[in-house]
């Protein structure tokens, strides 16, 4: 396992490995998202209280989960930056931070859209909403540090420290509905023994979440590959890749 990780932590090896991986990810994503959209909009029945307005969960819930998952990926990258000084980890941190910020914003916006008819207000300083907003500010802080410092490696180390400090917010976001009296509804999908959601609604939600994960992975890989070419632009293998691409065009 460690030998595999060491081998593909090389910028060159990771670039060519991701090139082979991307077509399979794209095909799987298209299949999953097609099924999930059909399930979310057609096969899933309307909620007995919320009617069809509940269908926003097929965007809101996966986006909220991605906002947490991507931040944890950033946390692992930050450890790799600070402890092992891995270049690929620096690039990954920089590549996925904007993606995580976008999904956090989507989660907040869709939550507000759902909250207006359900709670009667666009925003409430609820524990879940507030901690998710703090998460957005953490993403923006990491992005700002990465771009504010001219030296790329110093910027990555500074952003990694902030990212690791912000990790404490992740369990707060996740468990806020259990720790405090909150407007936000409690866990439904995560109760695997008896989820509080009909199976016809649950399956499209789970497949949509996997589709969101694949989408995040695909976009991240494209961003990482582009950054690798910029980062290692003076190496011979990058020059060969650029030459090959020009010949194909």
Which letter does DSSP use for residue 54 in this model? Answer: G
Whether residue 249 is predicted with pLDDT greater than 80 in this model: the reply is: no
CA distance 7 to 180: 45
- Does residue 52 carry a pLDDT above 90? no
Q: Does residue 192 carry a pLDDT above 60?
A: no
CA atoms within 13 A on the CB side of 228: 26
Task: Give helix 57-79 / helix 87-119 axis angle, nearest 10°.
Answer: 150
Q: What is the pLDDT confidence band of residue 198, given thresholds at 50, 70 and 90?
A: confident
Hey, where are the domains in the chain?
Answer: 35-44+54-186+197-248
Separation in Å, CA 186 to CA 50, 57, 157, 174, 201: 16, 14, 37, 10, 17
DSSP state at residue 124? -
Q: What distance in Å separates the CA atoms of residue 124 and residue 115, rounded to the nearest whole number?
A: 9
């Amino acid at each position: 396992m460690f030998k595999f990780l060491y081998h593909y932590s090389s910028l060159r090896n990771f670039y060519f490995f991701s090139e082979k991986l991307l077509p399979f990810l794209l095909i799987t994503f298209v299949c999953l998202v097609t099924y999930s959209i059909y399930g979310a909009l057609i096969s899933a029945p309307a909620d007995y209280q919320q009617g069809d307005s509940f269908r926003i969960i097929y965007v809101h819930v996966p986006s909220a989960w991605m906002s947490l998952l991507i931040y944890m990926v950033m946390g692992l990258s930050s450890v790799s930056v600070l402890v092992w000084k891995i270049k690929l980890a620096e690039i990954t941190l920089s590549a996925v931070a904007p993606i995580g910020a976008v999904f956090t914003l989507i989660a907040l916006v869709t939550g507000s859209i759902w909250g207006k008819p359900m709670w009667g207000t666009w925003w409430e300083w609820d524990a879940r909403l507030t901690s998710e907003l703090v998460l957005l500010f953490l993403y923006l802080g990491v992005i700002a540090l990465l771009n504010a410092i001219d030296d790329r490696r110093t910027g990555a180390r500074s952003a990694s420290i902030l990212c690791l400090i912000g990790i404490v917010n992740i369990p707060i976001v996740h468990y806020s509905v259990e720790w405090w009296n909150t407007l936000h509804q409690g866990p439904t999908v995560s109760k695997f023994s008896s989820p509080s959601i009909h199976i016809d609604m649950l399956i499209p939600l789970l497949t949509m979440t996997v589709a969101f994960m694949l989408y995040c992975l695909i976009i991240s890989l494209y961003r990482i590959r582009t950054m690798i070419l910029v980062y290692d632009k003076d190496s011979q293998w990058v020059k060969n890749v650029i030459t090959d691409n020009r010949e194909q065009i």
